[in-house]
Structure 1
Amino acid sequence: MAYNEKDLRNKAEAYLKAERQEVFSKEVETELTQGNWESLYDRFYTSLAFGTAGMRGVIGGGTNRMNSFMVRKVTQGLSDYLNHTSKNPSVVIAYDSRRYSDLFANEAALVLAANGISVYLYPDLHPVPMLSFAVRYLQTTAGIVITASHNPSQYNGYKVYWRDGGQVTPPHDFSIAERANAVKAEDIKEMSEQTARSKGLLVPVPEKVDEAYYHTALLGLRRPSLVQDSPVKVVYTPLHGSGNIPVQHLLNKVGITCIVVPEQQEPDGNFPTVPLPNPEHPKAMEMAIALAKKEKADIVLGTDPDADRLGIAIPLDAEKTEYQLLTGNQIATLLVDYL
């Protein structure tokens, strides 16, 4: 395939001027030096799109990759939209265990702050359900989660939530995308973290928000006596993601024994024990089911990296020697029956 080398070089050089993180810019610099036009074409033939599911892509240098520049570009578009539609807008930001999630969360926070938007930033990993709650509890205009959900480890992403705690829907998503696509590198406003914090534009999410979330979640139990100090034994895997602390905390609060798969307990954006961190995928739940057989667990639970997707396996016999992974429809049926 013939490539327009001049056009690709111009796009690459423009990106290099705008990208502040060396880890991404060095990839592009190396390929320019080597004349790797096929790879450069893949990095620059388009830009990552923003939609209802936010922005998601392979981590790396280029406009068709997930990197610091693209996060800042989209955040400037979001900032423009928030300042256009809201008075004194505010945003809360969370991130999961994926590679560079904490960096991207901080970059987004500083662009928002540079645009005069108040930002609450979680100081550590928090899953999507807790971010959704925080948006409503803190009454912010919007929320951001840095995550690529259950995609492979080479991906990361950027999800936007509206004031109702749900992901942005029309017309907000279209308007944000339109403004983000129009942003040029020189349009992106900047502010140092020290300045943002000293001006009170960037603050940590108060600890009381987590406490309120746990309290609200426990209040949601329709028949708490069914689970309080229950003899049920749970084997759980967070699949190296952000669900470990909240899931263990809530199960412990109601007195349910929770055994976590040790090899998958620690956050790790490389997801070294699974080909795909999707708890609905049999391969991802193999270690949890093996542990369940050993522990004779009554149920197996698994969450994806941002803990908004749940996998469940149940024993097929009284001896608990075999387990079956439930489908999404089966889980929904059980939830409706409980409610």
Structure 2
Amino acid sequence: MMIHDGFNQWRKLETLCDEDRKKLLNMTDEEMKDSFYQELAFGTAGLRGKIGPGTNRMNEQVIARATRGLAGVIEKRGQKAMDCGVAIAWDVRERSERFMEVAASMLASCGIQVHIFSGIRPTPMLSFAVRELRTQAGIVVTASHNPKEYNGYKVYWKEGSQIRDDIADEISREIAKFDYSVWPEKSFDEYKDEGFIHIIDEALEEKYYALTLAKAVEEDIKKDISIVYTPLNGTGNLPVRRVFKARGFDNIHLVEEQTEPDSSFKSVGYPNPEDFKAFEKALALGKEVDADILIATDPDCDRVALVAKDASGEFIPFTGNQTGALLLEYILSRREVKGDLPANGAVVKSIVTGDIGRRICDHFGVAMFDALTGFKNICALANEWDDTGAYEFLFGYEESIGYVYGDHVRDKDAVVTSMMVAEMAAYYLSIDKRLPEVLGEIFKAYGYQGEKLLSVVKEGQEGQALIQGIMADLRENPISSVESLKVEKVVDYAEGVEGIGTSNVLEYRLDDGSCFFVRPSGTEPKIKLYIYTNDKDEEKAKEKIEWIESAVLRRFDLK
């Protein structure tokens, strides 16, 4: 009954675009059910969903209502917060610019100043803009690496990092005060003419680039390194190429079909560089031009993946954990040699990221902290240290190919990371080493880390129920052993962990030092299994991965 009520209410909305009205009137019963069985939940990742009409979809009405909720939270903080305003960026996805216009207009209709870029920009530049302009909040319209059918809406707070639970909950309470008919009083162009909506000055972008380039560690490197780069039809094309050029990396080969913005992502399909399939065209070009490394950034250019050629000429893809370990070892070792590694330096990783980074940090005397999944939590510690001065934030990363180096951005940043990956690869080539060889040396020095990430997608209402059932059953009947390995400890983050926080994550620690995590995704309809194994024998470590994977899949009938 509620589904049909929602459908009938939406048919009466005058603000529906022609495309959504047509989709609404031609919905099957199944499409209606999936579009209206729930509201898109506003969480610490904001909103994300498939584009289309309905309460469970991304559309202008959902954007307007969410932004009215955000405006209510800002209004409560007084006129100063309203004058500081909100910065907004958007990416290449379908309707992203239109969603930006609706959000900007809604804020302006509430008397809140808005700052927008002159066109598509990478997500990290929005984080920088919030910090530089000292706005009260920021918005990025993006679905990051999701399939083309998706779009999203991420909210940032005044520190330049994504909102955490307290602010998200406050916004959610404000959103609930409004229905889907809430709408700006005037048009985007009218508010722009009235001075409520401002174009961000190019000087801000120039400062972002200057601070990014200032993070360089080594200049005595092999600048003619051959690099294949693909922005996967996203926002990374101009920013990443600019920093490459400024650093003197001129031997850049672009995947032409994936260079220009394209909301259909027809050249790549699923624009997630974490999936090696996204490198298909980059790999072909790499072989053609005899590249040393391949770099891909996701559509909003906050995540970056790496493939590197080994001594035999084979191209080896690196996981997020491996790239993180390489960057940590490179940055900390070179800065130690140069004598500018701070005594109170600190690195932050997510709880589901492997522990090899901790061993690297221990070696260099750098503190390592764990945070809940997501850069909102990783950067929360950097925000805290701004106030306390307890540590100097050096580097943050998570296994899902997100990294940030330095403190001018408080989110993962594929622009500075791409620059550092190129520098790192060029440095090692200068001393006749390739990245796969360097990774082997890291494993030899710190111990081999076996790893695997398994994601099981469960769409719709039934899928959500299944995922919730899996987590409930794990809590009621925890796994006690895997083959010959005994479970020594189970950590339920839903109960809260001191110094880290609360999240719907289960961690299993085994008696040989291996571990695995089970976590429902906060942004996608999937449940994730993260597996990490330790052993002096690489093959034995891989065998243990198979044991754990088989045990969990068998337990929940997911094969």
TM-score (norm 1): 0.92
Q: Residue type of the partner of 2:224?
A: P
SS at match of 1:73: helix
Does the CA contact (< 8 Å) of 1:78 and 1:179 recur in 2?
yes
Supply the distance in 1 between the matched residues of 2:194 and 2:232 (Cα, whole angstroms).
Answer: 38
Residue 311 of structure 2 is aligned to residue 317 of structure 1: yes
Deviation at 1:9, TM superposition (A): 4.0
Name 2:273's counterpart in structure 1.
279
**Residue 134 of structure 1: aligned partner:** 129
Of 46, 60, 71, the residue aligned with 1:68 is: 60
- Equivalent of 2:239 in 242, 246, 253: 246
Q: Secondary structure at the match of 1:185?
A: coil
**For residue 97 of structure 1, what is the aligned residue in structure 2?**
92
Offset at 1:107?
0.8
Q: Counterpart of 1:329 in structure 2: which amino acid?
A: N
Contact 2:7 2:54 in 1 (8 A): yes
Kindly indicate whether the alpha-carbon contact (under 8 Å) linking 1:76 and 1:189 is maintained by their aligned counterparts in 2: no
CA distance in structure 1 between the aligned counterparts of 2:216 and 2:52, rounded to whole angstroms = 43
| Cα shift readout 1:76-123 (whole Å, capped 9, x = no counterpart) | 001101111253331111111111111111111100110111111122
Shift of 1:186: 4.6
Equivalent of 1:12 in 7, 17, 21: 7
**What is the alpha-carbon distance in structure 1 between the residues aligned to residue 200 and residue 25 of structure 2?**
38
2:24 to 28, 32, 37: 28
* Per-residue Cα deviation, 1:39-76 (whole angstroms, up to 9, x for no partner): 21211111111111110001011111111100111010
CA distance in 1, matches of 2:286, 2:73: 48
Contact 2:64 2:182 in 1 (8 A): no
Q: CA deviation at 1:188?
A: 4.0
Residue 29 of structure 1: how far off its partner (Å)? 2.2
Q: Output one character per residue of 1:257-313: Cα deviation in whole Å (capped at 9) or x when no partner.
A: 221100111111111122311111110011111111111111111001011111000
AA at the equivalent of 2:164: T
Residues 126 and 242 in structure 1, CA contact (< 8 A), matched pair in contact too: yes
Question: Which of 174, 188, 205 is equivalent to 1:179?
Answer: 174
Task: Please give the per-residue CA displacement for 1:226-265, whole angstroms capped at 9, x wherever unaligned.
Answer: 35x7121211000111100100011011110221100111
Alpha-carbon distance in structure 2 between the residues aligned to 1:17 and 1:91 = 31
For residue 107 of structure 1, give the secondary structure of its aligned residue in structure 2: helix
Q: Which residue does the alignment assign to 2:150?
A: 155
Distance in 2, Cα, partners of 1:50 & 1:119? 21
Greater strand percent: which structure? 2
Q: Take 2:81 and 2:45, find their aligned partners in 1: how far apart are those partners?
A: 25
Q: CA deviation at 1:11?
A: 1.6
**Residue number among 286, 289, 296 corresponding to 2:290 in the alignment:** 296
Shift of 1:199: 2.1
* Alignment of 1:115 onto 2:107: no
How far is 1:202 from its partner? 0.4
Equivalent position amino acid for 1:297 in 2 = A
Is contact 1:113-1:191 (8 Å) kept? no
Considering Cα pairs closer than 8 Å and 6+ residues apart, tell me whether 1 or 2 has the greater RCO.
1
Is contact 2:232–2:259 with CA below 8 Å preserved after alignment?
yes
Structure 2 residue 30 is matched with structure 1 residue 38: yes
With over 3 angstroms needed to count, the CA separation of the structure-2 counterparts of 1:37 and 1:195, relative to structure 1, is same
Code of the aligned partner of 2:274: E
Measured in 1, the distance between the counterparts of 2:290 and 2:120 equals: 31
Following superposition, the deviation at residue 198 of structure 1 comes to 2.3
Larger radius of gyration: 2
Instruction: Write the mapping of 1:162-241 to structure 2, written as runs, cut at 5 A.
Output: 162-223=157-218, 225-227=219-221, 230-241=223-234
Please tell me whether the aligned partners of residues 43 and 65 of structure 1 are also in contact (alpha carbons under 8 angstroms).
yes
Question: 1:222 & 1:246 partners in 2: Cα distance?
Answer: 19
Q: 2:257 aligns with which of 263, 266, 275?
A: 263
Q: Is 2:258–2:268's contact at 8 Å kept on the other side of the alignment?
A: no
Distance in 1 separating the partners of 2:189 and 2:256: 38
Identity across the alignment (%) = 39
Q: Distance in 2 between matches of 1:128 and 1:69?
A: 23
Assess, with a 3 A threshold, how the Cα gap between structure 1 residues 23 and 123 changes in structure 2: closer, same or farther: farther
Distance across 2 between alignment mates of 1:268 and 1:150: 13
Q: Secondary structure of the residue that 1:102 maps to in structure 2?
A: helix
CA distance in 2, matches of 1:310, 1:237: 10
Q: CA shift at 1:207, angstroms?
A: 1.2
Q: Which moved more, 1:48-57 or 1:178-187?
A: 178-187
CA distance in 2, matches of 1:226, 1:132: 31
CA distance in 1, matches of 2:232, 2:186: 35
SS of corresponding position for 1:92: strand
CA distance in 2, matches of 1:328, 1:231: 26
Q: TM-score, normalised by structure 2?
A: 0.57
Stretches of structure 1 lacking an aligned partner (at least 5 in a row) = none
Structure 1 SS opposite 2:19? helix
- Shift of residue 195 of structure 1? 2.5
Query: Are 1:280 and 1:325, in contact at CA under 8 Å, matched by a contact in 2?
Result: no
